[in-house]
């Protein structure tokens, strides 16, 4: 085959150049084409500016987008952040969710909460979980340009306690939270002497007895309290000349429940078969004391004497609250020999703005007030005590006044004791618990 002449090779190069020019002119993104044909017929050199058109992707909690506005500034996607006042509870329970900590460089435009039964569009919302289960709560936030981010929290809701606290639950110390119970037939009582009291039930309870050591003891399924003011034993452990106290209390003594602590108490209290109303001397069968010498009990249940209150006869049960001016409230209940009172007390330790005292006797609510339950100078809840505290018997005159009426002793009985102690962070805080502590 013959080779092309110089003129022929030049024609071929020109044809190639023409084809390149046509291709470039058809491209919508073509830049200036600069071509040159060398003397030796090498192809032309093509130069084109390049632009990176790839998108960058931000990372946030959940899925997020990124965008670039016309000015060239990058729009950073938002970050959804959820907080909640609790992640657990007992059905039904309300939980508050807050999305205000979510972040974005240009501001959050919209909030969308998903609870599985609809969408809520507020930054802060409260949701009530009616049934036990495990729930995923999601929050999606959007910025002004539509970029979004999603965060999720898991909430666990347990079933509510139903029925009364069972004996198997066991007791607890005064500063232990939760449900507690003391079934007296299951508890060993100490045999002690030479002191006014002794601890028992794994240090959860304490006997206060002035002065006879045998004034508190087991009586089948009940606890028995018995005082004969004249039967004072020989010994130097008690300075009193007469017996005047037979009580059971929680331990430790100096408990000092913080403001806001909630407590429920439930027990039966039976008056002995030979019980007589004392016209001259009052006495308490329940009290909570702050542990400060010289102060009266914060709250209590007291049996009054004949001239204590106008229009009310001796033997009536009064509710006492020494932290307020109206410190005595009548119930209209006058127990008789052999009668059993079914008692429930509910208290929140606080001042007049957040304190609460409720009392039921024989399924009847006899007191229900938002009221101070702590002393202004001693801002705590104290130690609970049950039994007999007949302080007029500390003196010869008080003892003689009773004997002149034919009253030589006082005997009462206490059934199973149920308690609930809750702090403000408890998921069941302030929930109704009457049915859980009410005595059988």
Return the SS3 of 329. strand
pLDDT at 45 over 50: no
pLDDT, position 421 = 98
pLDDT number for residue 67: 52
Question: Mean pLDDT throughout 87-97?
Answer: 87
| Domain 167-437 -> CATH class | mainly beta
Q: How confident is the model at residue 402 (pLDDT cuts 50, 70, 90)?
A: very high
Overall average pLDDT of the 419-435 stretch: 94
Residue 2: pLDDT over 60: no
Give the residue extent of every domain in the chain.
1-51, 67-158, 167-437
Lowest mean pLDDT among 52-66, 109-123, 213-227, 339-353: 52-66
Say how many C-beta atoms besides its own lie within 10 A of residue 159's C-beta: 10
Residues 158-181 have a mean pLDDT of 88
Which of 28-42, 81-95, 189-203, 247-261 is predicted most confidently?
Answer: 247-261
- Which residues lie below 8 Å from residue 18, measured CB to CB, with a gap of 6+? none
> What pLDDT is attached to residue 430?
95
CATH number for region 67-158: 2.60.40.10
Q: What is the mean pLDDT of residues 33-37?
A: 38
| pLDDT band at residue 324 under the 50/70/90 scheme | very high
For tokens 């003689």, the residue is 400
| C-alpha pair distances (Å), 373 with each of 216, 284, 417 | 28, 18, 22
Residue 45 to residue 36: CA distance in whole angstroms: 7
Asked whether the predicted pLDDT for residue 139 surpasses 50, the reply is yes
Q: What tokens were used for 283? A: 């006495």
Share of the chain above pLDDT 90, in %: 71
Q: What is the mean pLDDT of residues 104-111?
A: 93
How confident is the model over 195-236, as pLDDT tens digits? 889 999 999 999 999 989 889 999 999 999 999 999 998 888
> Given pLDDT bands bounded at 50, 70 and 90, which one contains residue 146?
very high
Q: According to the model, what pLDDT value does residue 54 have?
A: 34
CA 242 – CA 233 distance, rounded (Å):
10
| pLDDT value, residue 14 | 54
Mean pLDDT of 49-60: 33
Task: Report whether pLDDT(5) > 90.
Answer: no
Backbone phi and psi for residue 245, each to the nearest 5 degrees, phi listed first? -145, 130
Residue 118: what pLDDT?
Answer: 85
Q: What pLDDT does 157 receive? A: 87
Q: pLDDT at position 93, please?
A: 86
365 pLDDT higher than 70? yes
Could you tell me what percent of the chain has a pLDDT over 70? Answer: 82
Token code pair at residue 26: 């058809």
Residue-level pLDDT at 307: 93
Q: What is the mean pLDDT of the chain?
A: 86
Q: What is the rounded distance in angstroms from the CA atom of residue 149 to the CA atom of residue 196? A: 67
The confidence score (pLDDT) of residue 270 equals: 98
């Amino acid at each position: 085959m013959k080779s092309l002449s110089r003129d022929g090779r030049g024609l071929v190069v020109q044809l190639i150049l023409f084809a390149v020019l046509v291709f470039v002119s058809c491209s919508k993104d073509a830049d200036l084409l600069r071509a040159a044909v060398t003397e030796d017929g090498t192809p032309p050199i093509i130069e084109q500016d390049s632009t990176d058109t790839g998108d960058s992707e931000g990372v946030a909690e959940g899925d997020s987008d990124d965008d670039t506005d016309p000015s060239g500034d990058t729009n950073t996607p938002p970050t959804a952040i959820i907080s909640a006042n609790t992640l657990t509870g007992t059905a039904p329970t309300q939980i508050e969710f807050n999305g205000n900590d979510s972040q974005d460089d240009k501001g959050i435009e919209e909030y969308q909460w998903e609870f599985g039964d609809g969408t809520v569009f507020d930054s802060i919302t409260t949701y009530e979980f009616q049934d036990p289960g495990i729930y995923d709560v999601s929050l999606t936030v959007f910025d002004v340009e539509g970029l979004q981010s999603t965060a999720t929290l898991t909430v666990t809701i347990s079933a509510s306690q139903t029925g009364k606290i069972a004996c198997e639950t066991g007791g607890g110390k005064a500063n232990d939270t939760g449900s507690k119970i003391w079934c007296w037939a299951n508890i060993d009582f100490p045999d002690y002497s030479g002191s006014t009291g002794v601890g028992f039930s794994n240090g959860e309870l304490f006997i206060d007895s002035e002065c006879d050591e045998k004034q508190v003891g087991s009586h089948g399924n009940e606890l028995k309290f018995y005082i004969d003011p004249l039967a004072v034993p020989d010994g130097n452990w008690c300075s009193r000349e007469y017996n005047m106290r037979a009580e059971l209390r929680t331990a430790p003594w100096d408990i000092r429940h913080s403001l806001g602590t909630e407590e429920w108490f439930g027990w039966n209290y039976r008056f002995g078969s030979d019980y007589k109303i004392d016209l001259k001397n009052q006495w308490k069968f329940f009290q909570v004391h702050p542990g400060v010498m010289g102060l009266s009990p914060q709250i209590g249940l007291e049996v009054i004497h004949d001239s204590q209150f106008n229009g009310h006869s001796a033997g009536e049960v009064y509710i006492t609250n020494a932290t307020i001016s109206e410190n005595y409230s009548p119930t209209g209940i006058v127990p008789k020999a052999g009668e059993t009172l079914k008692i429930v007390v509910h208290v929140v330790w606080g001042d007049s703005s957040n304190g609460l005292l409720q009392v039921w006797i024989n399924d009847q609510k006899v007191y229900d007030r938002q009221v101070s339950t702590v002393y202004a100078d001693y801002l705590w809840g104290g130690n609970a005590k049950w039994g007999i505290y007949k302080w007029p018997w500390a003196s010869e005159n008080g003892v003689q006044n009773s004997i002149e009426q034919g009253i030589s002793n006082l005997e009462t009985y206490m059934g199973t004791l149920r308690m609930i102690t809750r702090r403000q962070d408890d998921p069941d805080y302030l929930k109704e618990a009457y049915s859980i502590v009410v005595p059988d």
